[in-house]
């Protein structure tokens, strides 16, 4: 019988669908592991600040931001007493509110951030592989460009859903009220109103993504050479992810501060039903921060962001690479069996 070569996986030994499964599992694992850390962090922060009605807190579990509102001088949670530290906070939250309280805000993450992460990582791998071929001698710069383009694409796709989620969290509207609100906004301001707030998000996320992937690929290659291995191990990807995430987080911190401040200011106005208009452009918010706190204000929360981003990036990328390695090995083992079956 004629010998036919089996259909080979598309890129890097795996198919796009397998890349999607790998990124989905990584996003799930990241949100499950990192959310409790950020819940405890924001609760410790809230304890140090007077709980004013309408005051907002923003926390991020490594994949997306969540808005928490204080009502009637109380928090968005059942008080568990005074916390003496991180471990004490974990213990008291679990005892007083149940262990599920450590994952508050997880459902919207799973509904929105997981699909966005799947789009982002799959697009990056596909783009990077294509750009490496086209860029020739400058192939080392492919991760920089692929990371930026992939982030623009995923952020643009998910932005309307992000707007809807933010309104649900901040204004606590019913779905019918929300539908009417969105319909009215589209009629008066056009479809572009659904992408309001995309600019500040891109200013933070696109540079972060470009630097992250470039440094990650470079670090992974260097560590592989240093360990005399051709395939990156889980440890190599974990260290590379944590290091590249830390660098990108530090450089883009001012834009993260601006985005958080913008969310808090808009949320506070909405909570008070205020009609005051506060300029929410990125550079207007930057000027207000510098006027109030000096240039150091643009780097507020340096250590908490670093502690949050580094493990989130490390867990996500190492889980993703582990999944890809699993499917790659599985595909390679399948090829000889397919060749054997076609030759008989």
At 218 the pLDDT is: 95
**Range picked from 56-60, 155-159, 273-277 for highest mean pLDDT:** 155-159
CA-to-CA dists, residue 193 to 119, 163, 177, 277, angstroms: 23, 9, 17, 17
Q: Which pair of tokens denotes residue 130?
A: 């294509």
- 8 Å CB contact between 94 and 36: no
Confidence of residue 237 (pLDDT cuts 50, 70, 90): very high
Cβ burial 68-107 (10 Å sphere, 16+ → b, else e): bbbeeeebbbeebeebeeeeebbebbeeeeeeebbbbbbe
Whole-number percent of the chain with pLDDT over 90: 27
Alpha-carbon gap, residue 329 to 326, rounded angstroms:
5
**CATH 2.40.128.50 for the 16-324 domain, yes or no:** no
Q: Over range 3-17, report the average pLDDT.
A: 61
DSSP state of 152: H
CB atoms within 10 A of CB 200: 20
User: Please, are residues 295 and 327 in contact by the beta-carbon 8 Å criterion?
Assistant: no
Range picked from 53-62, 92-101, 119-128, 263-272 for highest mean pLDDT: 119-128
> In this structure, what token pair is assigned to residue 303?
């250590």
Give pLDDT, residue 220.
95
Strands 65-69 and 56-60 turn out to be: antiparallel
Q: Which range is least confidently modeled, 19-33, 164-178, 204-218, 287-301?
A: 164-178
CB atoms within 10 A of CB 184: 11
Average pLDDT, the chain: 77
The tens digit of pLDDT for each residue in 76-123 reads 455 556 777 778 888 888 888 888 888 876 776 677 778 888 999 999
**CA-CA-CA-CA torsion sign (60, 61, 62, 66):** negative
Query: Which residue reads 């001698």 in tokens?
Result: 137
| Per-residue pLDDT at 160 | 76
Q: Average pLDDT, stretch 204-220?
A: 93
Output the CA–CA distances (angstroms, integers) from residue 105 to 30, 55, 100, 240, 269, in the order listed.
14, 18, 10, 28, 22
Give me the pLDDT at residue 45, please. Answer: 59
> Interhelix angle for 234-251 vs 302-343, to 10°?
140
Between the alpha carbon of residue 279 and those of residues 24, 115, 188, 195, 329, the distances in Å are 37, 31, 20, 17, 53
Identify the residue with better confidence: 296 or 178: 296
The answer to whether residue 170 scores a pLDDT higher than 80 is: no
CA 187 – CA 180 distance, rounded (Å)? 10
- Report residue 46 as tokens: 């809230």
Q: What is the mean pLDDT of residues 194-212?
A: 84
CB neighbour list of residue 306: distance below 8 Å, 6 or more residues apart: 246, 249, 250
Give the pLDDT of residue 76. 47
pLDDT at residue number 162: 67
Better pLDDT: 289 or 50: 289
- Other CB atoms within a 10 A radius of the CB of residue 321 amount to 23
pLDDT above 70 as % of the chain = 68
Per-residue confidence at 2, pLDDT binned at 50, 70, 90?
very low
Highest mean pLDDT among 187-201, 214-228, 303-317: 214-228
Q: Which two tokens stand for residue 297?
A: 């204000």
Task: Answer whether residue 62 shows pLDDT above 60.
Answer: no
Query: How far separated are the first and last CA of the chain, in Å rounded?
Result: 7
pLDDT tens sequence across 290-335: 888 888 888 877 777 788 788 889 999 999 999 999 999 888 887 7
Does pLDDT of 42 surpass 60? yes
Report residue 21's pLDDT band, with 50, 70 and 90 as the boundaries: very high
Greater confidence (153 vs 185) lies with 153
Q: Is the pLDDT of residue 73 over 50?
A: no
Give the pLDDT of residue 112: 73
60, β-bridge pairs: 65
């Amino acid at each position: 019988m004629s010998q036919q070569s089996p259909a080979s996986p598309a890129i890097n030994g795996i198919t796009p669908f397998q890349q999607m499964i790998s990124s989905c599992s990584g996003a799930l694992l990241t949100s499950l592991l990192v959310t409790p850390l950020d819940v405890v962090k924001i609760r410790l922060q809230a304890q140090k600040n007077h709980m004013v009605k309408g005051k907002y807190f923003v926390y991020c579990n490594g994949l997306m931001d969540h808005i928490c509102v204080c009502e009637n001088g109380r928090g968005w949670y059942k008080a568990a007493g005074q916390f003496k530290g991180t471990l004490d906070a974990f213990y008291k939250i679990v005892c007083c509110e149940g262990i599920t309280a450590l994952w508050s805000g997880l459902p919207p993450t799973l509904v929105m951030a997981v699909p966005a992460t799947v789009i982002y990582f799959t697009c990056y791998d596909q783009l990077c592989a294509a750009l490496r071929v086209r860029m020739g001698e400058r192939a080392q710069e492919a991760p920089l460009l692929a990371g930026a383009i992939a982030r623009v694409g995923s952020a643009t796709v998910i932005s309307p859903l992000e707007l809807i989620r933010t309104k649900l969290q901040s204004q606590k509207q019913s779905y019918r009220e929300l539908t009417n609100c969105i319909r009215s906004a589209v009629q008066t301001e056009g479809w572009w109103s659904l992408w309001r707030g995309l600019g500040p998000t891109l200013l933070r996320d696109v540079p972060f993504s470009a630097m992250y992937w470039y440094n990650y690929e470079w670090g992974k290659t260097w560590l592989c050479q240093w360990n005399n291995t051709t395939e990156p191990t889980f440890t190599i990807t974990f260290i590379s992810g944590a290091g590249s995430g830390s660098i990108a987080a530090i450089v883009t911190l001012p834009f993260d501060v601006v985005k958080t401040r913008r969310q808090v200011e808009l949320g506070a106005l909405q909570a008070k039903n205020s009609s005051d208009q506060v300029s929410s452009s990125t550079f207007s918010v930057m000027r207000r921060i510098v006027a109030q706190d000096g240039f150091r204000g643009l780097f507020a929360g340096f250590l908490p962001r670093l502690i949050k981003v580094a493990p989130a990036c490390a867990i996500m990328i190492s889980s993703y690479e582990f999944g890809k390695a699993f499917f790659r090995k599985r595909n390679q083992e399948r090829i000889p069996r397919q060749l054997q079956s076609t030759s008989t």
